[in-house]
Amino acid sequence: MTTQDITSAPPVTLEEYAALPKHPRYELVKGVLVELMVASEEHEHTGSLVNWRLSSHVFPNGLGRVYLSNRGYVTGSDSPATSRMPDVSFVSNARLNRPDLVGMLYDGAPDLAVEILSESNTPAEIRQKIGEYMGAGGKAVWVIDIDARMLTVHTAGAPPVTLTEADTVDGEDYLPGFACAVADMLPAIES
């Protein structure tokens, strides 16, 4: 399919998007399917570490649910629609009762969306995702840069805070009682 075919094709609806097979994985951006690149082993490992750290706090404390990469969040339901799939996400109990719009698609953003940078991400794309999550009711977005060994915390109404592996990230008001060393959510450096 050429670029002309894509731009002249009618926008994909949420119903059509939800009916797609789960592999390959796609996000829906303003009615256009965008295939997500296959994640590197390091990217997947980082997602697993973040998922484990969050789940180890969320489940014993009965705070909600943690999802690893396959949960879609409709961050723009105006026609044409947008649905994002963060690498890891947390949804509080208070927000779990939101109806799925279609299939596995939540209406609005998770309380916390975690995006792990990969080679295919551009700064503009990450800024767009952060804006969409926050605009759709998200409370925080963590952007993890594995290579720089940093985690940047974005919250509504505050400037981003960049933490190094020597720092600790906390859950502020969106993940009560959570605190974890950034280093514990990053793959070990191989010598």
Between 56 and 39, residue with greater pLDDT: 56
The answer to which of 62-71, 85-94, 109-118 has the lowest mean pLDDT is 62-71
Query: What global pTM score does this model have?
Result: 0.87
Q: For residues 68 and 71, give the distance between their C-alpha atoms in angstroms, rounded to a whole number.
A: 7
What CATH homologous superfamily does 3-185 map to? tt1808, chain A (3.90.1570.10)
* Residues 110-133: tens digit of each pLDDT: 999 999 998 888 899 999 999 999
CA 188, chain centre distance (Å) = 22
Cβ-based neighbour number of residue 104 at 10 Å: 15
Residue 37 has pLDDT above 80, yes or no: no
Domain map (residue ranges) of the chain: 3-185
